[in-house]
Structure 1
Amino acid sequence: MEQQVDQQVVVITGASGGIGRATAREFGARGAKVGLIARGEAGLRAAAGDVSAAGGEALVLPADVADYEAVRDAGRRAEAELGPVDVWVNVAFSSVFAQFTDIEPEEFKRVTEVSYLGFVHGTRVALDLMIPRDKGVIVQTGSALAKRGIPLQSAYCGAKHAVQGFHESLRTELLHRGSGVKTTIVHMPAVNTPQFEWLVSRLPENAQPVPPIYQPEVAARALVYAADHPGKREYWVGGSTVGTLLANKFVPGLLDRYLARTGYGSQQTGERRDPAQPSNLWKPADQEPGHDYGAHGSFDDRSHPRSYQLWMVKHRRKLAVAGGTALGLVGLRAMTR
């Protein structure tokens, strides 16, 4: 028996901005109780306001996901104040835009601790809460870059590849145990989030997502759908994600050469980067009052508000029935001629 969505307790990491922020709003609109984990106080307070305005209940849980004990304490507080956690969504990440040889070892380590171990920590805390009840859903926010590395994002790509392997291993263990706890992963396309304004960058020009770009609400709807339908091992969002992953499967060498030729230019806007732009690698960019970045980045005029590919995934059964019916009618007409 499925739980009513307006009774759900959801915890989201990286909830102060970008995809996490949009996802918090999406769950809030269903009346859920939402625990918000991130470091930035300004973003967290604003995210809580978004959830409340949408119709949900919010709990601010300041924590660095690279710190396991902090995440554990946040999870326990969510259970104590909101109730048993039904859904845990891992979103938090950081990165460095640069060639690998321009990334300092401690920076690479920090990206890995946040973008990979942050998912491990969140998952472990969620399992410790859910396994005794034999119930719950863990959703990992993946990326097309979890299966296809691109230039200038070696730290992020490495972390996302690690998340993919971790997800597959954990999923098989849960299946082996016959556990009622489910896990799935959602691979995202390029998304219009504030990350391009606050990540460490050593590029000569402003960083940008590789077009086509989607709005964070597209990603949020996909994560909520995955939480409702965790039986599927993974979801791909956006036609660009599907195209990239299929190309990588069948012609990976050709894709290597294509990305070597286009991957640098496609990730830069053509405008000179401000060397004084904020960075959230070591401290939150939104730690000061009035520095809330929200869910959207600066590419609204170029971003798609919906994904037709995701719509087809959500309605695949109806489409299959409609397609079968259409083929049947064609066959019937042929037989009666």
Structure 2
Amino acid sequence: MVTGASGGVGRAAAVAFAARGARVALLARGREGLAAAADEVQRAGGEALVVTVDMADAKAVEDAAQKVVDAFGPIDVWVNNAFSGVFAPFTEVTPDEFRRVTEVTYLGYVFGTRAALRHMLPRDRGTIVQVGSALAYRGIPLQSAYCGAKHAIQGFNESLRCELLHERSKVRTTMVQMPGLNTPQFDWVLNRMPGRPRPVAPVYQPEVAARAIVHAAFHARRREYWVGGSTVATLLANAVAPGFLDRYLARTAFESQQDQHGDGEYAGPGNLWTPADGPHGRDFGAHGRFDDEAVPDSPQDWVSRNRGRMGAGLVAAGGLGAVVTAGMRRRGRS
């Protein structure tokens, strides 16, 4: 089950699971995006089930989970990914808007996790993947509601992980912290800034995120994955010098999060109260408007996903080195 599957990271992840022959339940509000996502899943080799649901509605999420179980059988993997956002200084975000972002982006994960556990715990099997962000650790300007929700997910997931370990449950939960990605979200968010929202460079393609999500789903003993060199750099810098990072972001992050094209406020369709593809009747797909600069691979992510093999290779190389050194010493003595 993939939430927020109508576009962006959720869409790319659904297709990546389908490429493994999976049955994929697609959860989101936008009907146009969901229908197109279902077509992509089937073309990739999977089976698709479309479930229209607002993740902020706990009862609707429970009903969606039951519908999927009735159609596809037990839930093996649940990916929490749905979100909404407001791109503006905190003082320009209304209380209702802040609440709505929190309900979708944070409580949507809580409700999704609860629905997943309801079906996984009796079987003592299953994996929940929380799609996070570098912003789960490091808040940045103009995204206070989103950053707050991602921080909340981080704390919630750690608490849940401890409880599952205490119960010796075989149900796993893991979190994948993402970098800036080329997704349609930057044309969806409610925007009150003069420029068009954009991700902070470097920008990665959503398929980079999708590969990490699929890997995490099948290697969930790790509590967390960091995706992209920029995520690693941000989180390490925040751990070492958060005050310096505050001042650096205050100077740079307003401009680096906006395309300075055109005059006046740019407002996209917005997905806060209604799905972005609803009234417009179009499918936004997985990619945003940054294909020209987005990179399709992350060496850091490859190393993260293959660190077991890397470790084995280093051990083997070390052993070979020891054998060669010993042989040279023996030849020297003779």
Structure 2: gaps of 5 or more residues: 330-334
CA distance in 2, matches of 1:134, 1:332: 46
Aligned match of 1:6: none
SS in 2 for 1:304: coil
**1:293 counterpart = 2:284:** yes
Q: What is the aligned residue count?
A: 327
CA distance in 1, matches of 2:265, 2:256: 19
SS in 2 for 1:183: strand
Contact 2:195 2:266 in 1 (8 A): no
- How much does 1:314 deviate? 1.7
Out of 30, 36, 39, the position equivalent to 2:20 is 30
CA distance in 2, matches of 1:223, 1:117: 20
CA distance in 2, matches of 1:20, 1:167: 19
**1:51 counterpart = 2:17:** no
Higher Rg of the two aligned structures: 2
CA distance in 1, matches of 2:17, 2:321: 43
CA RMSD of aligned residues (A): 1.3
SS in 2 for 1:271: coil
Aligned match of 2:134: 144
Distance 1:277 1:83, change over 3 A: same
CA distance in 2, matches of 1:36, 1:21: 8
- How much does 1:275 deviate? 3.8
- How much does 1:290 deviate? 4.1
Aligned match of 1:94: 84
Aligned match of 2:272: 281
- How much does 1:329 deviate? 4.2
CA distance in 2, matches of 1:215, 1:266: 18
Amino acid of the structure 1 residue aligned with 2:269: P
> CA-to-partner distance for each residue in 1:41-68, whole Å, 9 max, x for gaps?
1001011111111111100100000000
CA distance in 2, matches of 1:106, 1:275: 21
> CA-to-partner distance for each residue in 1:173-202, whole Å, 9 max, x for gaps?
000001111100000000100001111011
- How much does 1:315 deviate? 1.6
CA distance in 1, matches of 2:308, 2:277: 43
SS in 1 for 2:261: strand
Aligned match of 1:112: 102
SS in 2 for 1:52: helix
Contact 2:28 2:54 in 1 (8 A): yes
**1:239 counterpart = 2:229:** yes
Contact 2:30 2:277 in 1 (8 A): yes
Structure 1: gaps of 5 or more residues: 1-10
- How much does 1:276 deviate? 4.7
CA distance in 1, matches of 2:47, 2:280: 22
Give runs of aligned pairs for residues 171-250 of structure 1, distance below 5 A.
Answer: 171-250=161-240
> CA-to-partner distance for each residue in 1:240-273, whole Å, 9 max, x for gaps?
0000000000111111111111111110111136
- How much does 1:316 deviate? 1.1
CA distance in 2, matches of 1:93, 1:57: 24
Aligned match of 1:17: 7
Contact 1:42 1:288 in 2 (8 A): no
Contact 1:42 1:289 in 2 (8 A): no
CA distance in 1, matches of 2:33, 2:18: 16
CA distance in 1, matches of 2:12, 2:152: 25
CA distance in 1, matches of 2:268, 2:228: 30
> CA-to-partner distance for each residue in 1:100-138, whole Å, 9 max, x for gaps?
001111000000000000000000000001111111110
Q: More strand per residue: 1 or 2?
A: 1
CA distance in 1, matches of 2:325, 2:252: 50
CA distance in 1, matches of 2:322, 2:171: 44
Out of 60, 76, 81, the position equivalent to 1:70 is 60
Distance 1:274 1:259, change over 3 A: closer
- How much does 1:274 deviate? 5.9
SS in 2 for 1:190: coil
Aligned match of 1:167: 157
CA distance in 2, matches of 1:26, 1:329: 38
Query: Among the aligned pairs, what percent are the same residue?
Result: 60
Aligned match of 1:81: 71
Amino acid of the structure 1 residue aligned with 2:29: R
Contact 1:85 1:129 in 2 (8 A): yes
TM-score scaled by structure 1? 0.94
- How much does 1:210 deviate? 0.2
TM-score scaled by structure 2? 0.95
Contact 1:41 1:288 in 2 (8 A): no
- How much does 1:162 deviate? 0.1
**1:304 counterpart = 2:281:** no
